């Protein structure tokens, strides 16, 4: 193991906080022009302005899991008016990004690698940092990975439960942890802990507002394709066939990644999240934020990384140049298509550097994996 370099920790925290401060400025009500963020748009809901608790009643429906709603409520309660609300979210985000930098540093040290602090200045952090709740999801995911690698499995399960209660996508990582656990007893304990933590936030909603779950399902089942590359195949944003295609693709990719032999856990986690993003029918650009800590830990050097980030930033930067930017061949959707292509190439590079080149993905023979220090995709 590499001896932890505290100067590197300082560099990580400094770069991450600097990137977040720039994000705070770009989206602030004091910036001219003030760039769009979901955080800003949430304020337009009457129940947010009125200080009501999200999902406490059918009239306060909020299309995110409970921790995201609690973050929103806390910012409103502390802030009072819009300026205070935005400032509160910004403070939360600054604390979260500093914690992400610390956790990524700890994770890299445990793996025997060195985190790259410059990756906390990638466009996704700056443009989508103070934007939605993905930064908090990223924090819980990297903490879960960190504690697992440090063999503190109970805490890892706690943070996975928190991640799922923030954004459901973290649930696809559960099999990644299962693969690393030695017995079904350990897996059952891990699952129970994660479920109890997530349930602690979901059960109160089920009691207070049992209709939330039907509202949640209906909302997303009726939502159309959002920045999914296969809009170029199906054309229709609300095509059920397109959604089925995405689901089948997701299952196929996830099963293959889960069954890859002798691949380091963090690389498998990266590929799992990559598979999700390449197949989900909702790949909003802020989703990239949850990947940045893992990218920094692996210190990826593939040129595809920079194209992936650049095209992702261009989605929102070109979004308001069209009356309806969700159609194929608009500039935002073209950027989304190119982003997915770059992510696919990045995923292939990580798999190849881990001993699984694409030519052997469908070969059942085990391919020896490279060590964590060898992985520089």
pLDDT by 10s per residue, the chain, length 377:
456 688 999 999 999 999 999 999 999 998 888 789 999 999 999 999 999 999 999 999 999 999 999 999 999 999 999 999 999 999 999 999 999 999 999 999 999 999 999 999 999 999 999 999 999 999 999 999 999 999 999 999 999 999 999 999 999 999 999 999 999 999 999 999 999 999 999 999 999 999 999 999 999 999 999 999 999 999 999 999 999 999 999 999 999 999 999 999 999 999 999 999 999 999 999 999 999 999 999 999 999 999 999 999 999 999 999 999 999 999 999 999 999 999 999 999 999 998 888 766 656 554 444 444 344 44
Contact between 176 and 170 under an 8 Å Cβ cutoff? The reply is: no
In 10 A of CB 348, how many CB atoms? 19
Distance (Å, whole) CA 111 – CA 149: 7
> In this structure, what token pair is assigned to residue 58?
């059918």
Residue among 279, 292, 302 at smallest CA distance from 349 = 302
| DSSP-assigned letters across all residues of 265-313 | HHHHHHHHHHHHHHH-SB--GGGGGGGHHHHHHHT---THHHHHHHHHH
Looking at residue 355, its pLDDT comes to: 87
CB of 242 within 8 A of CB of 236?
yes
For residue 79, give the nearest of 70, 91, 69, 88 by alpha carbon.
88
Contacts 24+ apart (CB under 8 A), 180-186: 180/148, 180/265, 181/153, 186/153
Q: Could you tell me how many residues make up the chain?
A: 377
CA distance 348 to 345: 5
Q: Residue 227: left if φ>0, alpha if ψ -120 to 50, beta else—which one?
A: left
Instruction: Identify whether the C-beta of residue 24 lies closer than 8 Å to the C-beta of residue 127.
Output: no
Q: What is the pTM of this model?
A: 0.93
SS3 282: strand
Tokens of 161: 């439960």
Instruction: Name beta bridge partners: 226.
Output: 282
Q: Residues of 331-344 as b/e, b for ≥16 C-beta within 10 angstroms?
A: ebbbbbbbbbbbbb
Strand partners, 282: 226
Q: In degrees rounded to 5, what are phi and psi of residue 282?
A: -125, 105
**Closest among 141, 29, 25, 31 to 94, alpha carbons compared:** 25
Nearest to 121 by CA among 100, 92, 151, 143: 100
Q: Which two tokens stand for residue 320?
A: 């308001």
Nearest C-alpha neighbor of 62 from the set 44, 78, 76, 42:
42
* 314 closest CA partner among 330, 332, 328: 332
Calculate the alpha carbon distances from 9 to 95, 139, 243, 349, 372 in Å: 15, 16, 42, 27, 20
| Phi/psi of residue 226, nearest 5 degrees | -125, 105
Instruction: Return d(Cα 375, Cα 370) in angstroms, integer.
Output: 7
Which sequence spans correspond to the domains of the chain? 1-222, 223-377
Contact 97, 131 (CB under 8 A): no
Distances (CA, A) of 111 to 9, 140, 147, 187, 201: 15, 18, 12, 22, 32
Measured CA to CA, the distance from residue 124 to residue 119 in angstroms comes to 10
Burial environment of residue 91 by CB neighbours within 10 A (0 to 12, 13 to 18, 19 or more): middle
């Amino acid at each position: 193991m590499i001896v932890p370099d505290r100067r590197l920790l300082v560099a990580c925290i400094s770069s991450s906080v600097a990137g977040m401060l720039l994000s705070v400025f770009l989206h602030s009500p004091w910036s001219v022009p003030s760039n769009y963020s979901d955080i800003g748009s949430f304020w337009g809901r009457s129940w947010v302005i009125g200080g009501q608790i999200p999902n406490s009643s059918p009239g306060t429906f909020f299309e995110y899991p409970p921790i995201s709603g609690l973050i929103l409520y806390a910012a409103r309660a502390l802030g009072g008016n819009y300026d205070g609300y935005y400032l509160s979210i910004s403070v939360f985000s600054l604390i979260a990004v500093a914690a992400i930098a610390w956790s990524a540093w700890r994770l890299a040290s445990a793996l025997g690698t060195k985190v790259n602090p410059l990756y906390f200045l990638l466009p996704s952090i700056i443009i989508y940092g103070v934007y939605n709740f993905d930064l908090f999801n990223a924090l819980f995911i990297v903490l879960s990975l960190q504690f697992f690698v440090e063999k503190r499995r109970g805490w890892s399960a706690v943070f996975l439960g928190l991640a799922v209660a923030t954004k459901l996508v973290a649930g696809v990582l559960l099999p990644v942890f299962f693969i690393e656990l030695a017995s079904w007893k350990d897996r059952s304990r891990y699952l129970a802990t994660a479920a109890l933590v997530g349930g602690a936030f979901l059960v109160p909603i089920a009691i207070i507002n049992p209709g939330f779950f039907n509202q949640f399902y209906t909302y997303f089942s009726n939502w159309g394709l959002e920045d999914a590359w296969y809009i170029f195949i199906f054309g229709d944003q609300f095509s059920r066939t397109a959604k089925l295609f995405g689901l089948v693709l997701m299952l196929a990719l996830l099963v293959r990644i889960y069954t890859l032999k002798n691949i380091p856990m963090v690389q498998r986690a990266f590929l799992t999240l990559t598979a999700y993003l390449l197949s989900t029918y909702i790949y909003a650009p802020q989703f990239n934020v949850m990947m940045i800590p893992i990218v920094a830990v692996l210190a990826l050097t593939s040129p595809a990384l920079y194209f992936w980030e650049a095209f992702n930033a261009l989605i929102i930067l070109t979004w308001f140049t069209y009356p309806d930017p969700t159609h194929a061949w608009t500039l935002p959707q073209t950027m989304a298509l190119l982003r997915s292509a770059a992510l696919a190439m990045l995923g292939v590079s990580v798999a190849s550097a881990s001993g699984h080149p694409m030519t052997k993905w469908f070969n059942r023979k085990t391919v020896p994996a490279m060590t964590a220090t060898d992985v520089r995709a």
